[in-house]
Amino acid sequence: MAHSVLHPAGAALAIFVVVAVVVASLAAALRHRHGVLALYRHYLSRTGRERRFLAVLAFYLSFAVVRLLAHAVRSGVGPFHNIEIGGRHIHHLVIGIVILLAVGYGWLLQVGADLHGESRLSERVMALLYGIGAALTLDEFALWLNLEDVYWTKEGRASVDAVLLFGALLIIGLLGGQFMRALLRQALRPLAMLRR
């Protein structure tokens, strides 16, 4: 019996198509931009979901783009090539880690926390960078799991699985964050009663 597993290229293409449809829908909706902006403010900006939405969008779009670029590099299509410094291949995992470290340090400094009514631009940029950094890092999850370059092998599938699982977590945070927090508080209520 043949075991059918979605090839990473197929997963990247499917995600890219979904993101492209969403972007095309948004572009079409921009003809009525006042209505779209009102919906955006109502459902995302005013509810505190904007950062999570931007992180999810950046995460999936970055994953799809990096997978397509990796396939282009491997196939020799276009001007794309591996990043090398002194003959050493620099995996995009490294770039993702650097971005995540920068975002983490920025948040330690409260960049994008909007505590003082700063411009929301820094808040949005930090959310976008978080999504990009997470996608670049998790796309090579199999590399850190196996400590060898298995991107194009069967073991490389672990990266796609990690991206899908983490992406699902991001979406749960976007769509059900308040519910999940309330559920957790409810579950921990007996422990709080014991402390009294």
Which DSSP symbol is given to 114? Answer: -
> What integer is the mean pLDDT of 162-184?
74
Q: Is the pLDDT of residue 1 over 50?
A: no
**Per the structure block, which two tokens stand in for 166?**
């983490």
Closest CA to 151 of 136, 139, 167, 162: 139
**Distances, alpha carbon 3 to alpha carbons 11, 31, 149, 151, in Å:** 16, 46, 24, 20
Cβ–Cβ < 8 Å for 140, 110: no
What's the confidence (pLDDT) of residue 182?
A: 66
Rounded CA separation 100/103 (Å): 5
The residues spanned by each domain of the chain are: 9-187
Higher pLDDT, 7 or 192: 192
Q: What does the buried/exposed string (b/e) look like for 164-173 if buried means 16 or more CB atoms within 10 Å of the residue's CB? A: eebbeebeeb
For residues 14-38, give the mean pLDDT. 69
Any idea which of 24-33, 60-69, 141-150 has the lowest mean pLDDT? Answer: 24-33
Give, in degrees to the nearest 5, the angle at Cα 151 between 71 and 146: 170
Position of tokens 């992406």?
A: 167
**Comparison of pLDDT for 131 and 2, the residue scoring more:** 131
Residue 4 has pLDDT above 60, yes or no: no
Burial class (CB in 10 A: 0-12, 13-18, 19+), 117: exposed
Q: Which helix H or strand E contains 74, and what residues bound it?
A: helix 50-75
Q: Are 82 and 31 in contact (CB under 8 A)?
A: no
Tokens 């409260």, residue located: 110
Closest-CA residue to 132 (of 56, 54, 65, 59): 59
pTM assigned to the model: 0.69
